[in-house]
Structure 1
């Protein structure tokens, strides 16, 4: 009977994996565009929920509708980011921004580290939820990066800063909502002398920061090596290694303050302050040629006319309306985006409460416990649109240029809509598949339980993989932590190791999972009009993802057995 139970559990886990397998086969292996692969994945999840998990039809419909609402939110963010980019292009500000980076260095490796790793970490700390890609990817394309290269860079850095993104939301909301209310967790906190949930989250956050520091320091090296390997004329990763001193300098310029802030202030500010401090230090040092490539040795892409067709999207981002604008004025829109995001995300300021007061809520869809809740003013898309409108007046743009910017943005967003309108509902059906008459746990839990029962005390090696899988499917480190933090804690207690390290490994894996999340890749690609090449990006970001979760898992195993 026990053997039958194990077989049944393993078979259920295999079935739960099928929506992800469909994505892997059709999107990654067969190179289908997401607009064709994601409807198949959605259909697979729906059929499993109805036939195997025996979830009521109304619950599947409610989950799908909830997913559509989230997809519309993502499309709004994408539209805002594209609109801002097109406004900058039509105004001529983009050409001045490009020149400001060329003045630092024309070396694309250095530019990728500064924009992707440092500026991206700061924006992640301020807003999270894919905003760094929406800001950084089009900025790199505007500088002359192939769109496919920019998306790869933008997705690869969606790792180390993510656990503390959006002012600590993955820890403060994701982990907290999973652990708070559990008597086992509260008893454990008391047993180790932790007197409050906030103190417990602070302790977990510091462990997360230490794991990220030990693994994430290599991410800038991955960025430059992958850039030269896949997009260089010689296709040689060693060209990336040529700037290893700068890459490590940039890594530690962010990571050292990042860890210090996690220890001193808690989980709200490590990425925000780490990214800001690192960006300031590295730009200051770069202007003084510290650790920079020698003049004449800078690395660049081939001429655009020699790029393969697959590298370029439908959006043209060459220099237009090249006007002699001041650097400060050209950068002002991005500075406004950063400032508004920070001001509206800090709970110490009154703006967050005001923006959150405007709520569109549809409770208990079709009589289920699934609801839709949107806060339109709080969504980063609103910040992008607001700053775009402000930029029209800042740059005194003429009506034809404004209409061109809006028209181009609308055309681009239409091409991204099909993939997202199926990808996100698939995720929601997958996550909300519990409560069916079959009595099974939701699909992700069925998968995680089968693995934990099979590996025993080796679980720390697999814990980051579960976090990564959760984020890759759910599209958010926060959602992954919400699903699995208590599960990871319980497994830690079950196998006799420190359960807080298990929660930390969950959060680290959940951050890394953003690198391979389908709808994040779709969103980043859509910003630069690169639709249909999502599988190619995921095949490449799988490399740093596997590095991240393997190294974190091995490190976790060593730590809990010390």
Structure 2
């Protein structure tokens, strides 16, 4: 029987490793690896001494963490290869091509940091959107810190209904809610995320250039934002799995249409003035080869249900892990296939294939010289260990906090202490779950059932609470150390993770404030 300790001292002890991690990363005096190690050691000590987690609990938790981390490294490593490849081909060509495609600078920023990563999230999440778009922003002239921070804030809204709705479905499955409550949960989650979609676009512009940037990007904000939000709400009411994919695709179409209109006007004006203006060259087109190859493969496979189902059910690699239980009765079920890595559907597989295809096309178009594969591969292989180690450390920390019952202790203790005012904390708890685990899916699996139980016990709106849980979990992605590190590694900025965290911190508070307001008003009415 589970008898979690929920006194103030236990709650404080439960969040101590999280607070330590946040403080150390924010101060920026040590690397992500050292910050993760210090927090992991604190979590292991507290788990054993206070939360009665024995060696088997902690050992299995560490194994879970390393395995989850390998899943993420599987995305990060091939993304690093694309970055090395684009460096060799000349990243300035990417910037030139994007400038010719989208003439307005602020709209170019919104396309790459707000719309495009959300579209990618529709089929390939878990760090892929940031790892792929941060190098594009660097190519466009933004600093590595901003190149990671902007898409972290811009794309956050797309996570719940991205990756074919994985985070959404885990929330429904783990809570066991009925069909009617599920429908309301879907609606509330979509509405909250649609609101924060527009807020996120505005925040990206504010982060870049204040109110002037907002004015310059107002056209795209007022047209593209409502379109993506409306498509998200409408499609998720019918097929939640493709909500983000269709919303992101709609945003891409509208952004391209706006840019095409601008290019046509500029071409006409240049012709009248006798100035041919800049035009896309063959090199500008070829430089997008890895990204075009990736999108072609992903759309061909993941939008065809029978093929997608096959890729998810075959070529699986997964460890078998036993059940564990702490001295307080917090149990973790046995799993014969823990967190399977499906080779045929893993995003990293397609990113790697896209990198290979990109190299071959770069050679064909003479963007890279003969024999360049060897130095590209050497630089890539050297970068993997230093990029992977912090990820494995942070995912191990997350698993220890979850399997020892420390995260559950915090949530239950906070709800008991606050009563109906706990509605103010619902999105914050979701964000905390993602901050710790690096995944909205894991946050929903961990805290979704607890939010359901608290709402039922306090006689508050379960659907609103669950919507706020997953929306808050999405916001947490913008400050999650794992996600920050993945983006930083993709642009050779691993030593600047503290700057990235400080850059995203204020926007995260704004996004959470929006969710807290909606949750309290709607959830306690």
What is the TM-score with the length of structure 2 in the denominator?
Answer: 0.88
Task: Please tell me whether the aligned partners of residues 344 and 352 of structure 1 are also in contact (alpha carbons under 8 angstroms).
Answer: no
CA deviation digits over 1:146-178, x for unaligned, max 9? 111101112112421111110111112x21231
Tell me how far apart the structure 2 counterparts of residues 422 and 526 of structure 1 sit (CA, whole Å).
15
State the aligned residue count.
494
Verify: 1:359 aligned to 2:316, yes or no: yes
CA deviation digits over 1:462-504, x for unaligned, max 9? 1101111111111111111111112112211222222111111
CA deviation digits over 1:95-118, x for unaligned, max 9? 443222211456543222111111
Task: Please tell me whether the aligned partners of residues 39 and 397 of structure 2 are also in contact (alpha carbons under 8 angstroms).
Answer: yes
Match of 2:356 in 1: 389
SS in 2 for 1:417: helix
Verify: 1:420 aligned to 2:416, yes or no: no
SS in 1 for 2:399: helix
Q: Which runs of 5+ in 2 are unaligned?
A: 267-279, 325-332
SS in 1 for 2:318: strand
Verify: 1:369 aligned to 2:342, yes or no: no
Moved more, 253-262 or 9-18: 253-262
Please identify runs of 4+ aligned residues in structure 1 that moved more than 6 A: none
CA deviation digits over 1:310-337, x for unaligned, max 9? xxxxxxxxxxxxx953554433421221
CA deviation digits over 1:45-89, x for unaligned, max 9? 111111111212122112112211222222221111121232234
Q: Residue 223 of structure 1: CA displacement?
A: 0.7
Match of 1:226 in 2: 207
Match of 1:234 in 2: none
Which of 276, 282, 286 aligns to 2:249? It is: 276
Match of 1:156 in 2: 153
Match of 2:483 in 1: 520
Q: Residue 347 of structure 1: CA displacement?
A: 6.7
Match of 1:253 in 2: 227
How large is the Cα RMSD of the aligned pairs?
2.6
Task: Please tell me whether the aligned partners of residues 425 and 516 of structure 2 are also in contact (alpha carbons under 8 angstroms).
Answer: yes
What is the TM-score with the length of structure 1 in the denominator?
Answer: 0.82
SS in 1 for 2:425: helix
Task: Please tell me whether the aligned partners of residues 31 and 536 of structure 1 are also in contact (alpha carbons under 8 angstroms).
Answer: no
Compared CA separation, residues 280 and 346, structure 1 to 2 (3 A): closer
Match of 1:318 in 2: none
Moved more, 103-112 or 399-408: 103-112
CA deviation digits over 1:340-379, x for unaligned, max 9? 2344444713244235311222212698836463323322
Compared CA separation, residues 271 and 372, structure 1 to 2 (3 A): closer
SS in 2 for 1:377: coil
Task: Please tell me whether the aligned partners of residues 423 and 524 of structure 2 are also in contact (alpha carbons under 8 angstroms).
Answer: no
CA deviation digits over 1:485-527, x for unaligned, max 9? 1211221122222211111111111111111111110111001
Please list, as runs of the form range in 1=range in 2, the aligned pairs for 1:94-173 lying within 5 A after superposition.
Answer: 94-105=91-102, 108-172=105-169
Q: Which runs of 5+ in 1 are unaligned?
A: 195-199, 229-236, 294-322, 434-441
Match of 1:380 in 2: 347
Verify: 1:178 aligned to 2:174, yes or no: yes
Please list, as runs of the form range in 1=range in 2, the aligned pairs for 1:448-467 lying within 5 A after superposition.
Answer: 448-467=411-430
CA deviation digits over 1:229-278, x for unaligned, max 9? xxxxxxxx233233251333332232222222123x23111211111111
Q: Residue 218 of structure 1: CA displacement?
A: 1.4
SS in 2 for 1:268: helix
Task: Please tell me whether the aligned partners of residues 225 and 238 of structure 1 are also in contact (alpha carbons under 8 angstroms).
Answer: yes
Match of 2:215 in 1: 242
Match of 1:336 in 2: 293
Q: Residue 222 of structure 1: CA displacement?
A: 0.8
Please list, as runs of the form range in 1=range in 2, the aligned pairs for 1:45-84 lying within 5 A after superposition.
Answer: 45-84=43-82
